[in-house]
Amino acid sequence: MTATTTAAAPSTWLTARRLDRAEQLLIVLFWSALVYRVWQSPNPFWPVVLFTETSVLLFVLLRRPTDAISMRFGDWLLAITATAAPMLIVPVQIPTAMVPLESIALGLVATGNVVQLGGKMFLRRSFGVAPANRGIKTGGMYRFVRHPIYAGYLMIHLGLLMMMPSLTNFLLYAIGWWAQILRLLAEENLLGQDPEYRVFMTKTRWRLVPGVF
């Protein structure tokens, strides 16, 4: 008589759709906490912070669901860290020494917002936080870099750090961008399974900053 072993059925409660909804809930919570902090800030540029992060919230809530999403815990942790860290900054008063750089900082933020919103408008409901394939987009600003939304964020965050310099904000942005780069690579690993994206990678060489990365 031969004993047979029946493998336990995998858990089905953790699905792509549920992860999608959990991600949206987390972003709403972080955004709400940001609104509370900036509303009390003495820094006159706090609406700039809220504008940028509100665009993230709206596109996350309006995106289309997908089953082609990473189910790896590490990928989700990176995505949430990269998205949440900028929402945790403290809008401190701009130091007197930084006032002469206000125009440069505002220019970076304005340009970055044009770039990131342009990328999001092109993606429309394909925008997401965790690595996922919601459809391959290769036109618009994606002809210049493979991740124009992140390129826009980079300019915005540099400008905001100039407006609101503090050790806390520097560390938050540093942590956020460490996670952002790793998230970017995880996205490309997932999207690279699609032949259309592999062709796109050969046509658009640079990921984030032309001539650098």
Given a cut of 50, is residue 165 above it in pLDDT? yes
Q: Residues 61-105: pLDDT tens digits?
A: 777 666 666 677 787 788 888 888 998 888 888 888 788 888 999
**What is the gyration radius of the CA atoms in the chain, in angstroms?**
19
CA distance 54 to 87: 10
Q: Is residue 213 within 8 Å of 207, Cβ to Cβ?
A: yes
Given a cut of 90, is residue 7 above it in pLDDT? no
Q: Is residue 120 within 8 Å of 59, Cβ to Cβ?
A: yes
CA distance 157 to 203: 28
Q: Angle 93-99-101 (CA atoms, 0-180°, nearest 5)?
A: 120
Q: Angle 176-21-78 (CA atoms, 0-180°, nearest 5)?
A: 20
